[in-house]
Amino acid sequence: MVAMNAIISASELADALAGANPPVLLDVRWQLSTATAAGEPPFDGRAAYRAGHLPGAVYVDLDQELASAPGGRGRHPLPDLEVFGAAMRRAGVSAGTPVVTYDGGTGWAAARAWWLLRWTGHPDVRVLDGGLPSWEGPLETSEPRPAEGDFVPVAGETGVLDADGAAALARSGLLLDARAGERYRGEVEPIDRVGGHIPGAVSAPTTENVGPDGRFRPAAELAARFEGLGVSPGSPVGVYCGSGVSAAHEVLALAVAGIPAALYAGSWSEWSSDPERPVAVGPDPQ
């Protein structure tokens, strides 16, 4: 599922919006809950959208429309395709219309939307490189009502892993762990039942795929990084994270580098929920 031109710069997007076939814009601002003991409320993506968004963009709720309810399959299981399809059509997504997704800057949520659209058959999806902070044009606060789209998602036959597939890939190919190194090593685990990693997985924090400005590093740099992590021509690659969101960003980085990769959607939140599954700790894969 490697997509040519998987990302788009802000200037390129401005040109595309002024062109004859402007893309549908999906605003997917989201953050992992950051509610604190001091009583700070969790991040509200819809409120951020209403405060200002790219002209014509439609808000998409990651938790409700890009994932199913949390449970045994992880914190962000794959969405019901009828729910996902309805959300995309509501946003004006059609099979023949280009789509650009963006978020508040990390690219994680935007990449989740990109990955789902690509995996379910949309041929032309890109992520705004650098997200909303890279946009220098005007913002608007009104909520558009685009014409209903016609996109009907169909689950891809490849490109996604379950727990058994991830375990097998860690033995026979290359399974990358996109979380922070300290979570991979099992030194801390702020969210899931236990820290550590899937035995055989290689630590590859997705934060290292971008520069200080939040934009992706050049394709050649990304290719060199992944080669150093063990990517080799023809060898299968998979990625996981905590719940299948930041891992989508790593799949996107791999696509920018021209490397196809599968996503373990349940990720560590699914894997670690079963005490029978093995857990490795420390800096080494095994």
- The set of catalytic residues is 241
Phi and psi dihedrals of 202, rounded to 5? Answer: -105, 135
Instruction: Give the helix, strand, coil percentages of the chain, each rounded to 5.
Output: 30, 15, 55
How many whole angstroms separate alpha carbon 213 and alpha carbon 229? Answer: 23
- Give buried/exposed letters for 29-40 (b at 16+ CB in 10 A, else e): bbbbeeeeeeee
Distance, CA of 4 to CA of 54 (rounded, Å): 24
What token pair was written down for 82? 């009828």
Q: For residue 160, report the phi and psi dihedrals to the nearest 5 degrees.
A: -135, 145
Query: Nearest-CA neighbor of 260 among 180, 158, 166, 167?
Result: 158
Placement of tokens 């190194």 in the chain: 181
Beta strand pairing status for 24-27 and 99-102? parallel
Q: Locate tokens 């939140």: which residue?
A: 269
The DSSP code for 284 is S
What's CA 121's distance to the chain center, in Å? 16
